[in-house]
Amino acid sequence: MNKFSRSCLTVLAAGALTFGATPVVLAQPAGTETPLATVAPAPGAGIDANATVSLTINKFEGEVGNTSTPLPGVTFLIQRITDIDLTTQQGWADLATRTGAAPGALDAGFTKTTGTDGKITVTNPEVTVGAYLVTEQTLDGYSTAAPFIVTLPFNDPATGDWNYSQTVNPKNQDVRPNKQADDSQATLGGVMGYTINAPVPAGTLDRFNIVDTLQTGLTLDPASVVVATTGAPAITLDAGDYTISTANNTVRVDFTSTGLSKLSNARATDPTLQVTVAFKATVTSIPATGVITNTATVELPNGGTVDTDVVDDDPNTPDQPTSTTFGNLTLTKTGGTAAEMNGAEFQLYQCAPTAADPNKFELLGAPISVASTADGATRSDVLVTNQDTYTGYGIPATSFSGGGTGDIANTYCVLETKAPSGYVRNPEPVKVNYDAATKTFSVTVNNAKDSIIGQLPATGAWGIVLVFLLGLALLARGLYTSYKDNKAQAA
């Protein structure tokens, strides 16, 4: 599962009000000095090191201020800062210099996880009077609250009293990114398109970076990387708002301080704000599995990271990355001997059933170039049979993407553009079959013999002969008629 690392820190003071013991006055012998009575501490008096304390954390999903959706399953590590003594002024002075990066000496601590109500509560003896570092742990797909320090007790500014119980409400936004695949021209040797959609978390951003390392079989086109935003409305990013690196077949987009400020300001009023990173890559080879996978990572504030893999509810099922499954194509010609079927030409299209007849298909888009060699070196959008067969390599069958897209299967048809010599071209698109178990495409196209001599008189040898003979006959008739007319006039 995706892991969020936790680093930054905010300091929080926490508590609830308790008081000291009730005054007790004991009877004394007559004439003796009456001792002073014990009194309850006045507001602002010293801290009771033995007081009962409690810490409650309410975890909610959504925007700041929205407490309608509790978030279960969030784990917090709670560690005591062991070199701080809150019963002394020096202890508070020392605490003022502590940060998340350097909170001081910590014990091993303990963890607590929010229940279905999104809440955890700890009290004595798990916590006692003291200062604690609270660090949020893994929660896949969500922003992470910065680690924070709580003090038990804290001085309530409204009353000036020490408060020994505290409730905090850290927020999380669902910032799971997704990655979309465009495989429309992604046959072996062709181009795959990808788009990463990364939601921007609310609050001050100390980092927001998008990283995508391409696996073997994909070669990045550095000039194709485009960074933009979507939102209501989308904001315009300038060249100084981010940097792009394409070294080592990796796309890396790092936002600068200017860009982070621009994103943060826009996000304050637009919870739909996303950064998009689109790019293209050449499919140079197909793995033995027939599947090319790809995962992008977003580096979030407070040291968090989240990737584009789709998380399954079953913890025993691995997350599912963006992927494309490929198969090879076998086209078979029938209607004559293998030698007679040689040289037929086809084009491959994506297609869809017609509205009038689901058994007939209409072609979509432009013809697709297909590799006729296993290394992808030879590609063409004209598929020519060798004897009665054509084999094409690395054709995308299905692609899986997150963001609710899921699996999208491609439907293909072949259209015959030139029939073998002596045969009639099949005029209809023929649907290509796909076997998911073997990852193979197959299609059979039948041809009928051309039984009409000279379908196009101007293009065939017999047509030329017939036209020539017809011309001679007309010429002879004209000469004969002219001869008779001349003879009649002479008489």
C-alpha–C-alpha distance, residues 337 and 46, integer Å: 104
Judge whether residue 475 has pLDDT over 90.
Answer: no
Give 41 or 371, the one with higher predicted confidence.
371
Structure confidence at residue 161 (pLDDT): 86
Report the phi/psi class of residue 241: left, alpha or beta, with left for phi > 0 and alpha for psi in -120 to 50. alpha
If asked whether residues 332 and 426 sit together in one domain, one would say yes
Structure confidence at residue 2 (pLDDT): 41
If asked whether residues 93 and 162 sit together in one domain, one would say yes
If asked whether residues 269 and 154 sit together in one domain, one would say no
If asked whether residues 388 and 433 sit together in one domain, one would say yes
Structure confidence at residue 143 (pLDDT): 74
If asked whether residues 298 and 337 sit together in one domain, one would say no
C-alpha–C-alpha distance, residues 135 and 100, integer Å: 9
Least confident of 89-93, 175-179, 274-278, 479-483: 479-483
Helix (H) or strand (E) holding 473: helix 461-490
CB 254 within 8 A of CB 209: yes
If asked whether residues 371 and 410 sit together in one domain, one would say yes
Structure confidence at residue 480 (pLDDT): 60
List, as one string, the DSSP characters of 65-114: T--SSB--S-EEEEEEBTT--TTSHHHHHHHTT--SS----B---EEEE-
pTM here is 0.71
**294 part of a folded domain:** yes
Q: How confident is the model at residue 93 (pLDDT cuts 50, 70, 90)?
A: confident
Structure confidence at residue 39 (pLDDT): 38
Structural domain that includes position 246: 178-307
C-alpha–C-alpha distance, residues 41 and 160, integer Å: 12
Cα-to-chain-centroid distance, residue 474: 76
Structure confidence at residue 69 (pLDDT): 82
Structure tokens at 490: 């002479």
Q: What's the burial of 165, exposed, middle or buried (CB within 10 Å: 0-12/13-18/19+)?
A: buried
Structure tokens at 399: 């692609």
**458 part of a folded domain:** no
Least confident of 32-46, 217-231, 341-355, 415-429: 32-46
Report the phi/psi class of residue 222: left, alpha or beta, with left for phi > 0 and alpha for psi in -120 to 50. alpha
**467 part of a folded domain:** no
Q: How confident is the model at residue 38 (pLDDT cuts 50, 70, 90)?
A: very low
Q: Which CATH number does the domain housing residue 236 bear?
A: 2.60.40.740
C-alpha–C-alpha distance, residues 441 and 227, integer Å: 36
If asked whether residues 129 and 199 sit together in one domain, one would say no
**193 part of a folded domain:** yes
Q: Which residues make Cβ contacts (< 8 Å) with residue 329, sequence separation at least 6?
A: 348, 370, 390, 391, 392, 393, 395, 432, 440, 441, 442, 443
Range from 72-81, 191-200, 481-490 that averages highest in pLDDT: 191-200
Q: What's the burial of 123, exposed, middle or buried (CB within 10 Å: 0-12/13-18/19+)?
A: middle
**485 part of a folded domain:** no
pLDDT tens per residue, range 403-454: 888 899 999 999 999 999 989 999 999 999 999 999 999 999 998 887 664 4
If asked whether residues 60 and 134 sit together in one domain, one would say yes
Q: How many domains does the chain have?
A: 3
pLDDT tens per residue, range 298-318: 999 888 889 999 887 666 778
70: preceding bond cis by omega (within 30 degrees): no
Boundary-marking domain end, from 252, 280, 307: 307
Q: How confident is the model at residue 61 (pLDDT cuts 50, 70, 90)?
A: confident
Q: How confident is the model at residue 352 (pLDDT cuts 50, 70, 90)?
A: very high
Boundary-marking domain end, from 265, 281, 307: 307
Boundary-marking domain end, from 172, 190, 215: 172
If asked whether residues 358 and 259 sit together in one domain, one would say no
**337 part of a folded domain:** yes
**68 part of a folded domain:** yes
Q: How confident is the model at residue 491 (pLDDT cuts 50, 70, 90)?
A: low
Q: What SS3 class is residue 266?
A: helix
The pLDDT mean for the chain works out to 83
If asked whether residues 345 and 398 sit together in one domain, one would say yes
Report which of 197, 265, 258 is spatially closest to residue 226, judged by C-alpha positions.
197
Q: Which CATH number does the domain housing residue 92 bear?
A: 2.60.40.10
- C-alpha distances (whole Å) from 263 to each of 26, 234, 273 are 69, 10, 8
pLDDT tens per residue, range 120-143: 999 999 999 999 999 887 677 777
Q: What SS3 class is residue 314?
A: coil
If asked whether residues 150 and 101 sit together in one domain, one would say yes
Q: How confident is the model at residue 218 (pLDDT cuts 50, 70, 90)?
A: very high
pLDDT tens per residue, range 143-174: 777 788 889 998 877 777 899 998 888 777 78
pLDDT tens per residue, range 274-296: 999 999 999 999 999 999 999 99
